[in-house]
Chain A
Amino acid sequence: MDAKDILGLPKNSFPSSADKKPRPPKESQRKPDGISREVYALTGRMPPLMPSIDASQLKKKHPPHEKITWQWLPFTNSARKDDLHLYHWVRVVNGVPPTGDYSFAKYNKSVDIIKYTDEEYEKHLTDPMWTKEETNELFDLCGRFDLRFVVIADRFPSSRTVEELKDRYYSVSQAILIARAASSGDVATHPLIKEPYNVSQEMERKRALSMVLSQTRQQERKDEEVLVEAKRIAELRMASKVTEQPQLVVASNADAEVTERAVPGETISPSNVQPPSMVVPSATDNASTLASLRMLRVYLRTYALDQMVQASNSSAGLRTIKRVEQTLQDLGVNLKPRVPTKAVCAEHLELRREILTWLNLQKQVQYKEAEGSSFRDGSYGETPGTPKLLRGADQDRTFIPDSMNFGVSSERVGKKDQKRKAHGGPPTSAHKRPRKQKASDL
């Protein structure tokens, strides 16, 4: 505020919404407690999220009333199966050695391998591909190597793939579980039952992975290109589908998102996809928009008008829409009515439609006139109405080749209301490069 005073600038220009209430006193004015300013700046001027270690903790003094000694004592490890006694230094407090198991024993975890009896094998587990010995061997290795199948596959006497081994192990375990369970419901939640091992899928997956791994760089590039192409085509197809279908906008009024802040009332615009060459008859669009409006429980008149305008604009290209808006302005009509009552909105829509009709008719005139001149040129053997020329018609000017016959002139088609000159007028030609006319201009 004071700076503006000094500079003599008006005080009014407060920025909108950015910071509303009293801005917190500048950060540089605030002195952080406990750490120096530079360090505070390093952390981004914010107090750290995690409480750092309290430095005073580090210099903890020993409680003086405790007497600490260190002794060389024997210990055992419950994780070991033998009865090995080893020695190590132990911190003894007041003559009392610590109790409890060896502190690392708890890390001795192992997998529970299912053990089956011969009976169970005969009943449930026989398999044409596997002998009993092999299965026994497999399970033994699984137990020894904690289900590390890569290692097991290595040590397996007959050469079997990892997938085969896994398959055998999991299907045996599954069969045993089901056989031993009182009812099928009991084991239904067991991970082995819930997610069975799928051999073919696994093999396919690994094959795919190895393929990806072994791809050369060139292949990678080619794949990317193909994907990009596919995406583009898919998007085009989606776009054409969107305009073919009626634009059903079922808006949830409660959670409407604002697309334009300046517009009062809610506006939800459907995806603004302008497809390159889709001409949808406006009648269906309007009917479907009305239908979707009726599905809403409540809506604002301005919203409804907006939807209808979009529906009628959907069949026109961007340039045409701009022309419609320009025409509205020229006629002194608000682009968005100031008093949008039902009648006003209806009138507004009709006006827009009529302007569209007018613009389309104007284009027709230009077309016809271009046709006409090519008819005349046709008598000289040139192909009448060369498609390229017609297509090259600009919105407001057509490029007509000079023709030298009969003194008939090629004429320059002027803007909207210019009357066509009769024969014998001065030859004029718009030597502008013909722009390719997009279908969206229709």
Chain B
Amino acid sequence: MTNSSSSKKHGQDQSELSGPTSKSQRTKMGKSEDNDKKNSGKKLKDVEISVPIVYGNMAFWLGKKASEYQSHKWTVYVRGASNEDLGVIIKRVVFQLHSSFNNPTRVVDAPPFELSEAGWGEFEIAITLHFHSDVCDKPLNLYHHLKLYPEDENSSMSTKKPVVVEFYDEVVFPDPSEAFLARVQNHPAVNFPRLPAGHTLPPPIPVEDANRRRKGDTKDNPLSQWFLSFSEADELLQLAAARQQVQAHIAKVKRQISLIEGQHKQLKSSSDQ
């Protein structure tokens, strides 16, 4: 993934390297409260770091090989939104399956954080992300409803094309430690914040060799051809258009109000005679 440093836009206080596929200009809007905080030169306030992830499942119908209790082969996973290696942030992921599975608590210790199984039923999977100790000592829970059957009941199931359900989200660390920041400085999986002026980080500790690191990403994953893409550009456009419309409506109504108020003044003055 190319670092879109050229498109980095300096917002109000934080700018972020874009993670997902589109290289949209990120402008800071709305969250102006960060400026209200007193920047007393304390350690790294108002610096948040976020990791865009996608989690969900993929399910293949087994077709002829399907039995009554194993009709689908499915994989539940957590991946970086741009298929980068999440191992730099996540230490392990625990997938809690339905109790009818053997050893329903499945632990995945290394990226890619995915789990494959075979079954027939849809149920809720609790996904717990455990982070490295310098990142966060509290785990984070996600919940995903496993989907095997296509939305449209009439569409036939195919063994070649899987049913895919994915959700985009971002893991936010509002108060990251210096060590954490230093370690992930240039990592593509992370939305790195803009540091307060003059603040420098120690150079990152040399990580394990690139080969080992590369294996954790999901770019070459056999399932990657089915991954969905999440583009924030479309959504931003949609929202911007909607906002424009609403703002236009607001202006119109304000004009109406002032019109009416003017009329009221007239009436009042005439009735006071």
Once the chains bind, are B267 and A253 in contact (CB under 8 Å)?
A: no
**What per-residue 1/0 map shows which CB atoms of B126-146 lie under 8 Å from chain A?**
001001000011111111110
Binds A, one of B181-189, B201-209, B212-220, B251-259: B251-259
Given contacts A301-B50, A339-B230, contact A261 B143 (CB under 8 A): yes
CA distance A364 to B257 in the complex (A): 8
Knowing A14-B120, A350-B29, A361-B257 touch, does A298 contact B140 (C-beta < 8 A)?
Answer: yes
CB of B43 closer than 8 Å to a CB of A: no
A300-B142 contact in complex given A264-B55, A339-B20, C-beta closer than 8 Å: yes
Q: How big is the B interface, by class?
A: 35 or more
Give the total of A residues in contact with B, Cβ under 8 Å: 73
Given contacts A338-B168, A350-B243, A354-B247, whether A287 and B33 have CB atoms under 8 Å apart is: yes
Q: A16-24, A99-107, A109-117: which lies at the B interface?
A: A16-24
Q: Once the chains bind, are A344 and B253 in contact (CB under 8 Å)?
A: no
Chain B residues whose C-beta falls within 8 Å of the C-beta of A379 in the assembled complex: 271
> Which of A144-152, A365-373, A386-394 lies at the binding interface?
A365-373
Using an 8 Å CB-CB cutoff, how does the interface string of B99-138 with A read, 1 for contact, 0 for none? 1110000000000000000011111100010010000111
Q: Is A20 a contact partner of B145 (Cβ separation < 8 A)?
A: no
Of A10, A301, A347, A368, which one neighbours B172 at CB under 8 angstroms?
A: A301
A349: CB under 8 A from chain B? yes
A396 to chain B, nearest CB (A): 14
A16 touches B123 (CB 8 A): yes
Q: Is B242 on the interface with A (CB-CB < 8 A)?
A: yes
Question: Residue A258 at the B interface, CB < 8 A?
Answer: yes
B138, A297: Cβ atoms closer than 8 Å = yes
Is the Cβ of B260 less than 8 Å from the Cβ of A372?
yes
Minimal beta-carbon separation of A417 from chain B (angstroms):
7
Cα distance A297–B128 in the bound complex, in angstroms: 15
Q: CB of A362 within 8 A of chain B?
A: yes
| Chain A 231-256: CB-based contact to B (< 8 A → 1; otherwise 0) | 00000000000000000000011101
Of the candidates B24, B68, B149, B243, the one whose C-beta lies within 8 Å of that of A351 is: B243
Q: How far is the CB of A346 from chain B (nearest CB, A)?
A: 4
Contact at B170–A341, with CB atoms within 8 Å? yes
| Interface window among A49-57, A205-213, A329-337 | A329-337
Chain B residues, Cβ within 8 Å of A362: 253
Are B243 and A254 in contact (CB-based, < 8 A)?
no
When chains A and B are docked, how far (Å) is the Cα of A372 from the Cα of B136?
Answer: 60
A271-301 residues at the B interface, CB under 8 angstroms: 286-287, 290, 293-294, 296-301
| A12, A264, A290: the one within 8 Å of B167 (CB) | A264
Interface residues in B226-273 by Cβ distance below 8 A to A read: 230-232, 234-236, 238-243, 245-247, 249-250, 252-254, 256-257, 260-261, 263-264, 267-268, 271
Q: Does A342 contact B (CB under 8 A)?
A: yes
A236 to B29, CA, bound (A): 37
Smallest CB separation, B138 vs chain A (Å):
5
Shortest Cβ distance from B96 into chain A, in angstroms?
12
Give chain A residues whose Cβ lies under 8 Å from the Cβ of B247.
354
CA distance in complex: A344, B168 (Å): 12
Please state if A17 and B124 are interface contacts (CB–CB under 8 Å): yes
Residue of B nearest to A373 (CB): B267
Interchain Cβ contacts under 8 Å between A and B, 14 examples: A20-B98, A256-B141, A264-B167, A265-B143, A298-B138, A301-B170, A341-B170, A346-B29, A346-B30, A347-B29, A347-B243, A351-B243, A357-B250, A368-B264
The 7 closest A-B pairs by CB, nearest first: A21-B100, A20-B100, A346-B30, A17-B123, A301-B170, A264-B167, A347-B239
**Chain A interface residues (CB < 8 Å from chain B):** 1, 10, 12-14, 16-17, 19-22, 252-254, 256, 258, 261-262, 264-266, 286-287, 290, 293-294, 296-302, 304, 327-328, 331-334, 337-344, 346-351, 354-355, 357-358, 361-362, 364-365, 368-369, 371-372, 375-376, 378-379, 416-417, 420
